[in-house]
Amino acid sequence: MFGLMVNLWVIEIGTICNEKQIHFHCDAVQGVGKLHIDAQDLNVDTLSVSAHKFYGPKGIGCLYIKDLNKINPLLHGGSQEKGLRSGTENVSGIVGFGVAAKNALRNKEENLNKINGLRNLFLKGLSENLVDWQINGNRSVPSTLSISFSGVRGEALAFALDQLGVCVSVASACSSSSSKLSHVLVSMGKSKEEIRSTIRVSIGKQNTSEEITTAIQAISSTVNKLRSFSNTFRTVKANASGKY
């Protein structure tokens, strides 16, 4: 949900759900460590977080529950997790989560400043080297970009970039195994062609300006090469210039 910054929407939805006595769960995995998130301010009933999104260990997360009395346990037999989930806790994962969360909070501004700088460098480079591309969504966390390149299939672009040592994805990891069009982009009014030409670019605190420059060069050259084979792109450009 927080790949695009929808804090105000979350607050509004939470208020409506609260008035109608509807349980409201918020997936905040993409936002923690990148945005200011207060579960009480958001007016949610439950909120989920995953450590690997802020450089913690994989396989560990947490669930904020506003009212424990409204949640029934899925597993019975033990008192772990306040009686909601029996079974031995992942102690090492919990410790790793805690350390990562502390570091994410302490270094959030520094990390965001660096990531914002790399993001701006990346977008400036694309603007100088490519035409006919757009960012999907006008507000997003600085570390994640959803970009459509007209006349290019996202899968072909991602595969070609992988051969050049640049890793991007055609969808979020949780839905990349599905061949269906992204319901998020559909709800944003994107056309089938725009959705199929979309890749996701992620930038982290460990990336460097040199890596960003390499990515710009690889994406620009690959997009132009793929477009040279694209009848769709040539037709669109010809129509735009009035040749047909």
Name the least confident of 55-64, 69-78, 129-138, 227-236.
Answer: 227-236
Nearest partner of 152 among 236, 86, 80, 39, judged by Cα = 236
- The pLDDT value given to residue 4: 47
pLDDT interval class at 162 (50, 70, 90): very high
Name the least confident of 39-53, 75-89, 124-138, 162-176.
Answer: 162-176
Tokens in use for 107?
Answer: 């270094």
For the chain, give the percent of residues with pLDDT over 70: 87
Tokens in use for 110?
Answer: 């520094």
- The pLDDT value given to residue 1: 44
Residue positions annotated with a catalytic role: 174
pLDDT over 70 at 232, yes or no: no
User: Cα-Cα-Cα-Cα dihedral of 198, 33, 46, 83, to 10°?
Assistant: 120
- The pLDDT value given to residue 78: 83
The length of the chain in residues reads: 244
Tens-digit pLDDT profile for residues 5-21: 456 678 888 889 999 99
- The pLDDT value given to residue 50: 96
Q: Cα 85 from chain centroid?
A: 29
Q: How many CB atoms lie within 10 A of CB 221?
A: 14
Show the domains of the chain with their CATH numbers. 7-106 (3.40.640.10), 108-241 (3.90.1150.10)
pLDDT over 50 at 113, yes or no: yes
The one-character DSSP state at 136 is S
pLDDT over 50 at 2, yes or no: no
pLDDT interval class at 175 (50, 70, 90): low
Tell me what the pLDDT averaged over the chain comes to: 87
